[in-house]
Copies of this chain bind each other. A is one copy, B any other.
């Protein structure tokens, strides 16, 4: 994929914000962060768990940008979407907690190689309403996450509009829209299945990084 960045959103589902210990249920602005394109992973290769990291799964709806978006209004934001995918925002939770407690950036916790596994792209036409999807994730066959995109605090158009006021989005860039509740750790040998119900499904093996 010809993509230079993934813009991600933190705590965009109330119940996940609560499980992370954040009781704020409506916030003024989205919390955005970056994952580098070096973290992208396609099916067929394993998710690598770095030494000392407690890596959590976060299943998310991903959006592929199709046109250069700068200061886009909420009303027109969908015009800048090329398609969707199922993504995992893999997170070294212990590194994120340490960084957050010191006021330091989340980059290492979020940006390691293989920390952005993704499905193939789904053309926009197949998804008439991005806020009416079910996303799910299983570890070793057991459901861990099942959420509905209607529960996002900020919708896809709101996220595109907000981000594009500050950071130009280019064709191929990704937007990860946040995870519903149920995040948890994965270990060497675990298999993650995840998908968007009736639309796409994917599978990744987790392996300790040597």
Q: Mark A15-42, 1 if CB is under 8 A from B, else 0.
A: 0000000000000000111101111000
Known: A36-B34, A166-B50. A104 touches B113 (CB 8 A): no
Q: Mark A175-198, 1 if CB is under 8 A from B, else 0.
A: 000000000000000000000000
Copies of this polypeptide in the complex: 2
A208 within 8 A of B: no
Known: A4-B37, A5-B4, A37-B4. A32 touches B108 (CB 8 A): yes
A10 within 8 A of B: yes
Task: Please indicate the chain B residues that have their CB under 8 angstroms from the CB of A167 in the complex.
Answer: 36, 38-39, 108, 111-113
Interface size class on chain A is 20 to 34
A residues with a Cβ closer than 8 A to B are 4-5, 10, 31-34, 36-39, 50, 70, 99-101, 103-108, 111-113, 165-170
